[in-house]
Amino acid sequence: MLLDPIRRQLTQGVTPAALALSLAVGLGLGTFPVLGSTTILCAAAAALLKLNQPAIQLVNYVAYPLQLVLLVPLLRAGAALLGASSESLTLDALRAQIGADPWGAIGLYGKATAGAVLVWAVFAIPAMLLLTRVFRPLLARFPALKEKKGDAT
């Protein structure tokens, strides 16, 4: 039937463990320090890990302000880590550079961005694991979310 793929997406990963992982991964990937990449990253993670696509994307979009808040500090930390210049790393400068010359911005901020991804990974991966452990018992309190036997995700 035509609606079957949509129904599967809405109901996939609705146990507390799977939904907790969906929320944690959506939040973690939603702060990835490359603007415009998080929707694709979350879609790929949801498909690969068989997570709830609508839940992971919703949390990804909710995390957008957090991504913006963390972007410059992560870029500065990444620049320091890899020895790139961090003088012009402000949100306004980034917006102006990306708006004027997107390819030039990649060249200008490429090294800082590579370092930012490394710094993000050091913090985000453990945070996603921790958030999964925190969210699971909270979600288990909802009667609509039933643990399946053998589900130890």
pLDDT in tens, 40-98: 999 999 999 999 999 999 999 999 999 999 999 999 999 999 888 777 778 888 888 88
Q: Which of 149, 139, 117 is nearest to 59 (CA)?
A: 139
pLDDT band, residue 5 (cuts 50/70/90): low
> Pick from 76, 117, 115, 116: which is nearest to 93 by CA?
76
Judge whether 57 and 13 are in contact, CB under 8 Å. no
| 153 confidence band (pLDDT: 50, 70, 90) | very low
Q: DSSP of 68-117, one letter per residue? A: HHHHHHHHHHHHHHHT---TT-SHHHHHHHHHH-HHHHHHHHHHHHHHHH
Domain borders along the chain are 13-140
Mean pLDDT of the chain: 86
Task: Note the pLDDT of residue 4.
Answer: 67
Q: Looking at this protein, which amino acid is placed at residue 18?
A: A
Question: Greater confidence, 61 or 99?
Answer: 61
Share of the chain above pLDDT 90, in %: 54
Instruction: Enter the tokens of residue 88.
Output: 């012009």
pTM for this prediction: 0.80
Per-residue confidence at 103, pLDDT binned at 50, 70, 90? Answer: confident
The whole-angstrom separation of Cα 36 and Cα 99 is 13
- Per cent of the chain over pLDDT 70 is 84
